[in-house]
Amino acid sequence: MIRVKLRAWTASFRFPTFQSGYQPTLPVPPPSTIQGILSAAKGEPVYLTQLPYVGYIFKSSGKGVDLEKIYALGKVETDIMKREFHYNAELYLYLPDEWKQYFKRPRYQLLLGRSSDLAIVEEIKENISLDEKEAPLGGTVVPIELGVPGMVHALVVEYDYSTVPRRAKLVKPFVVLPYPKTAAEKRRQTTRGFYDSELGIGVYLHRWSR
């Protein structure tokens, strides 16, 4: 297993229940964003349901609000919209070894959300070994069946890129777990699973190929 560390000045992940007006960001990237990052790195559509496993942890230094000028389609009117974003963002990806070659030389730009959220590959670490123990999860999404309390959202796991426009291929409900910062949050989000002792956080490995 390898662990890829991406870093970006900003990151933003569309909140599925907000279509207009103020645009908050999800606290962590949805699986479809991970699909986009892997596809950009490899240079072709990647489907998470074909991978043996994928895990990720996201954290940032905080959030801010940007003012964005938007143009109405086919009209001359413009408007100003408030858009929330993460700053000083880090994303850790846990992937099979063969993904080292794609992140060593990504084919396209890697984005943590929108086109302005450019990311760089800061580190690729090999021979990652995860312990099994009670550990706090966070900076990720987990299935409801895991029993960890948190905000629940229906999120796209992956899009079908064989059609134009793309269409959602798989949508599932998830518990969205922000990166835990307090002792109470760590206790609430603790469950038995894999643990990255170097980062001090639990890692949930999604296995949608099963």
- Count Cα neighbours of 182 within 13 Å in the Cβ-side half-sphere: 3
Structure confidence by residue, pLDDT tens digits, 138-173: 999 999 999 999 999 999 999 998 888 889 999 999
**Residues whose CB falls within 8 Å of the CB of residue 21, separated by 6 or more in sequence, listed in order:** 81
Rounded mean pLDDT, 102-122: 96
Domain regions of the chain by residue span: 2-206
Tokens for 91, please give them: 């994303």
> What pTM does this model have?
0.93
- Give the model's pLDDT for residue 210: 73
Side by side, the strands of the sheet bearing 140-143 are: 140-143, 167-177, 151-160
Yes or no: say if 191 and 143 are a contact pair by the CB < 8 Å rule. Answer: no
**What CATH class is the domain 2-206?**
alpha beta
Rounded mean pLDDT, 101-106: 97
Q: How confident is the model at residue 125 (pLDDT cuts 50, 70, 90)?
A: very high
Rounded mean pLDDT, 19-26: 82
**Residues whose CB falls within 8 Å of the CB of residue 174, separated by 6 or more in sequence, listed in order:** 30, 31, 141, 142, 143, 144, 152, 153, 154, 155
Q: What per-residue string of b and e applies to 39-62 under the rule 16 or more CB within 10 Å gives b? A: bbbbeeebbbeebebbbbbbbbee
Q: What per-residue string of b and e applies to 175-203 under the rule 16 or more CB within 10 Å gives b? A: bbbbbbeeeebbeebbeebbbbeeeebbb
